[in-house]
Amino acid sequence: MRFEVLTLFPGMIETAFMNGVTGRAASNGIVSLDTVNIRDYCVNNYGSVDDYTYGGGAGMLMMCEPVYNAYLEAKKKAGDEACRVVYMTPQGEPYTQEKAAEFSKEEALIILCGHYEGIDERVLEEIVTDNISIGDYVLTGGELAALVVMDSVTRLLPGALGNDSSPDNESFSEELLEYPQYTRPGVWHEKEVPEILLSGDHKKVDQYRMREARRRTKERRPELYEKYLKKRGIF
């Protein structure tokens, strides 16, 4: 998988991505990251990439030309004519685990991060294939949202999580929240680890975890729990 990120803050993307699991996946050649600084495609000697909005209103809008030229560069680097272009925007489709799985099947993704009040609609119409929102709140720019997408896609790539843990092990985690987990010591602040987890009976442990996952989902995310029941015809 290759990520090409169009951004005004390449350092923000590179620093965050090149750490931890995603950084290791990049070092191991499972994923590659490249950034294109939209500022390098500014329209004048002042480095301008934004301008006032037609029709008035507060704030500045990113102009078509710098965004388009940065996109052409990213497309050339991605070497993929049909590469999807994902625009991070609070007006996008809500991002889900399903979408992460879909993106993880692509050879390359171009991710466009906006700033200021947004980007001129005409260039968006021309280049964007997917509008994605990571939640109903507004960030100062698309970089944190792009990192959310890149992180969640990378962990699904074969080998990214190392040998002993695979996203496939989370058999029901895509529908239910995860069960509570414990490590040593067995007693901490007078709280004991549930006895069943010490029993060595794998079947019982699995049943316990499933029960806990259901209970937790019902309590914390009732709408997710309803969806889970409906999918199984329990209603």
Please tell me what DSSP assigns to residue 172. T
Q: Which stretch binds ligand ADE (CB under 6 A): 29-37, 73-81, 134-142, 180-188?
A: 134-142
Tell me the two tokens of residue 178. 């995860």
Q: Out of 58, 82, 138, 234, name the contact with ligand ADE by CB under 6 A.
A: 138
Q: Out of 8, 70, 109, 145, name the contact with ligand ADE by CB under 6 A.
A: 145
Q: In DSSP terms, which residues pair with 34 in a beta bridge?
A: 4
End-to-end Cα separation, the chain, in angstroms: 41
Is 152 a binding residue for ligand ADE by CB under 6 A? The answer is: no
Is 142 a binding residue for ligand ADE by CB under 6 A? The answer is: yes
Is 177 a binding residue for ligand ADE by CB under 6 A? The answer is: no
Rounded Cα–Cα distance for residues 225 and 229 (Å)? 6
Tell me the longest C-alpha to C-alpha distance in the chain: 70
Name the minimum Å distance from CB 26 to ligand ADE. 23
Name the minimum Å distance from CB 116 to ligand ADE. 11
Placement of tokens 């119409």 in the chain: 125
Is 62 a binding residue for ligand ADE by CB under 6 A? The answer is: no
Name the minimum Å distance from CB 3 to ligand ADE. 16
Is 134 a binding residue for ligand ADE by CB under 6 A? The answer is: yes
Q: Out of 7, 35, 37, 133, name the contact with ligand ADE by CB under 6 A.
A: 133
Name the minimum Å distance from CB 139 to ligand ADE. 4
Rounded Cα–Cα distance for residues 90 and 142 (Å)? 9
Closest CA to 123 of 34, 43, 234, 218: 43
Q: Which stretch binds ligand ADE (CB under 6 A): 36-44, 57-65, 120-128, 133-141?
A: 133-141
Closest CA to 114 of 49, 44, 158: 49
Is 104 a binding residue for ligand ADE by CB under 6 A? The answer is: no
Rounded Cα–Cα distance for residues 19 and 22 (Å)? 6
Is 7 a binding residue for ligand ADE by CB under 6 A? The answer is: no
3-state secondary structure of 93: strand
Q: Out of 137, 190, 223, 234, name the contact with ligand ADE by CB under 6 A.
A: 137
Q: Out of 43, 139, 224, 229, name the contact with ligand ADE by CB under 6 A.
A: 139
Rounded Cα–Cα distance for residues 87 and 112 (Å)? 5
H or E segment and range at residue 63 = none
Contacts of ligand ADE in 81-100 (CB under 6 A): 88-90
3-state secondary structure of 199: coil
Residues at the site binding ligand ADE, with contacts judged by CB under 6 A: 88-90, 133-135, 137-139, 142, 145
